[in-house]
Amino acid sequence: DFITLRMSEQDVKHVPFGFTANLSVGYLVGRRGAWFERNTFKFGIPGVRAGQLQLHPEFFFNDFFRNFSPSIKLTLDFD
């Protein structure tokens, strides 16, 4: 479980395709299993939006970037 601080744009325009202004930083506070090491952080950067679908790059790291893992966050908005 991560605790995450996220900053995003408030005026969401429903366009067929566009870029999003989302930034996020998170810290691993609860751990079950061996998926993430202790003291893991994540950092999310702006991505793209197509209708209600959003793709955002995220990066997980620990030990001062010694262990680094990129990922893609997929979000589906229902509004």
Cβ pair 23, 56 in contact under 8 A: no
pLDDT digits (tens, 9 = 90+) for 2-37: 899 988 875 656 668 888 888 999 998 887 777 777
Q: What is the average pLDDT value for the chain, to the nearest integer?
A: 84
What pLDDT sits at residue 67? 85
pLDDT, average across residues 47-71: 87
User: Which range (12-21, 39-48, 62-71) has the least confidence?
Assistant: 12-21
What pLDDT sits at residue 58? 94
Nearest Cα to 25, choosing from 44, 8, 38, 10? 44
Q: What is the 3-state secondary structure (H, E, C) of the chain?
A: CEEEEEECCCCCCCCCCEECCCEEEEEECCCCCCCCCCCCEEEECCCEEECCEEEEEEEEEECCCCEEEEEEEEEECCC
